[in-house]
Structure 1
Amino acid sequence: MEGDADIARTAALFADPARVRVLLALGDGRALAASVLAAEAGLSAQGVSAHLAKLRAAGLVVAEKSGRHRFYRLAGPDTAELLETLARFSPSQPVTSLREGTRAEALRTARTCYDHLAGRLGVAVTSALLAKGALAGAPDTRRRPGDRISAPLREHPYTLGPDAEAVFGALGVDLHATAAGRRPLLKFCLDWSEQRHHLAGALGAAVATRFVEAGWVQRRAKAHRALRLTPAGARALETHLGVADLAA
């Protein structure tokens, strides 16, 4: 027989700032080497190894071998969702330098939430897809009464719209191929920084992949979730989705 879930034991893993930085570095779903994670968290090789061992034992992180090298990634989207939820309930860290302020603003402007777009960019894309008829449902993406804070919505009011194939096709996303996979096509998260819905699921991942491959967004740093909208991306947003206010 088993008792209640040992929440305190799992929560203790998030009590170490360096360990949280390791998890955040993996928050976009990529697999990173321990050396990269050590640099991101400001740890020695021995220190990051100790943290990774605890995270692996808890099932939050998994390791993959490639040749002689070992890479680490989050165990799945549930871990990323947990990080997003904790971020919503957590106070902001004091900004003590220009670098920290720039980084915080970058995360709120555009970032990845596991493998899909989040921040102001993510919610703007989702709102534009609704306006263009690629998605149908709610008139806007603001948080509704009953929505769980910063978490995937179990039930959401969005479906594919009448112009979904044309709009996603213009963006370079193959809707039929994306829908053919095992992953749910449509999911939505409540963005922790914007308190609005952004597109997740297989379709959200396909859109984010397209943005990266087309050079419309670029990662700001090797182990950082923040994205930078490129001039080509700003033009694509305005041309295909009518979004012009993010160009600045």
Structure 2
Amino acid sequence: MSSGSPLTQFQLAETGALFADPARAAILLALIDGSARPASELAALAGVSAPTASEHLRRLVEGGLLAVLAQGRHRYYRLAGEDVAHLLETLVVLRSAPRQAVRVAQAEPALAYARTCYGHLAGRLGVALFERLRDACDVQLEADSLSLTRQGAQRLHDAGLLDAGEDLGRLRGRSCLDWTERRFHLAGPLGCELTRRLLERRWLRRVEGSRSLALSAAGRAGLRALRIELAAR
């Protein structure tokens, strides 16, 4: 979606038209969690025939909203990037009434509790981590990004989530609106790196057959040390 030149009104209208069809909207929402799905599954989720889904997928790929992953003879579709996911999440929050937002979160409780989205931690756990770092002044908010303060780096080092002498210049991040919580979690390189460390230190583990994450006993203890209290799912 991104381009070096300014977006024209015609390009904006073309992009908006891609969201306007209910079947295409259903396809995009099915991929908002960062998953990659085959055309047959997306057709079923959108409630359309395979040929109709194929045409919708072609338009979404050509419009820069979807990308195609080829594995042997199989083709899988996913969102074209984190910027597309961020746009969708923002639209979901803007257009959802509070009661609708609760139903989205309750549809898959495990995903609402903790999940990865383009490499960073999302869900209630991701929101809680970001809010703790922000409220403790461990991150410095800037116009379009954020960075760890020295205090924040030290805190995460003491918790075992950062190494000594870590290059803080590369660990920049940004806030990202969480579509199940309607609050912000941490994205960007910093969010992805912390999520990788949480998995590496076995605070979190991937759930087989799901995109959700489970919090381990070590993770609960580590979060308490960071003064993050979050009830188990």
Residue 228 (structure 1) shift: 5.0
Q: How far apart in 1 are the matches of 2:129 and 2:150?
A: 15
Residue 62 (structure 1) shift: 1.4
Instruction: Establish whether residue 121 from structure 1 lines up as the match of residue 110 from structure 2.
Output: no
Q: Cα–Cα, structure 1 residues 198 and 101, in superposed 2: closer, same or farther, change >3 Å?
A: closer
Q: How far apart in 2 are the matches of 1:32 and 1:162?
A: 42
User: What is the DSSP-based 3-state SS (H/G/I as helix, E as strand, rest coil) of the residue aligned with 1:202?
Assistant: helix
Residue 204 (structure 1) shift: 0.6
Q: How far apart in 1 are the matches of 2:163 and 2:44?
A: 37
Q: How far apart in 2 are the matches of 1:120 and 1:176?
A: 30
Instruction: Establish whether residue 199 from structure 1 lines up as the match of residue 204 from structure 2.
Output: no
Instruction: Establish whether residue 136 from structure 1 lines up as the match of residue 139 from structure 2.
Output: yes
Per the normalisation by structure 2, the TM-score is 0.71
Q: Cα–Cα, structure 1 residues 208 and 39, in superposed 2: closer, same or farther, change >3 Å?
A: farther
Aligned to 2:174: 187
Task: State the identity %.
Answer: 40
Contact 1:116 1:199 in 2 (8 A): yes
Q: How far apart in 1 are the matches of 2:199 and 2:41?
A: 21
Structure 1 regions of 5+ residues with no counterpart? 139-152
- Counterparts of 1:96-175 in structure 2, within 5 Å, are 102-103=106-107, 108-130=112-134, 135-137=138-140, 154-155=143-144, 158-164=147-153, 167=156, 170-172=159-161
Residue 101 (structure 1) shift: 7.2
**Deviation string for 1:120-156 (max 9, x for gaps)?**
22221112334667x2347xxxxxxxxxxxxxx7435
User: What is the DSSP-based 3-state SS (H/G/I as helix, E as strand, rest coil) of the residue aligned with 2:19?
Assistant: coil
Contact 1:19 1:51 in 2 (8 A): yes
| 2:119 partner amino acid | D
For 1:20, which of 12, 19, 25 is the aligned residue?
25
Q: Cα–Cα, structure 1 residues 185 and 59, in superposed 2: closer, same or farther, change >3 Å?
A: same
Per the normalisation by structure 1, the TM-score is 0.68
Q: How far apart in 2 are the matches of 1:4 and 1:189?
A: 26
**Aligned CA-pair RMSD:** 3.9
How many positions carry a matched residue from both structures?
224
Higher relative contact order (CA 8 A, sep 6+): 1
User: What is the DSSP-based 3-state SS (H/G/I as helix, E as strand, rest coil) of the residue aligned with 1:203?
Assistant: helix
| 2:151 partner amino acid | P
User: What is the DSSP-based 3-state SS (H/G/I as helix, E as strand, rest coil) of the residue aligned with 2:20?
Assistant: coil
| 2:24 partner amino acid | R
Residue 83 (structure 1) shift: 0.2
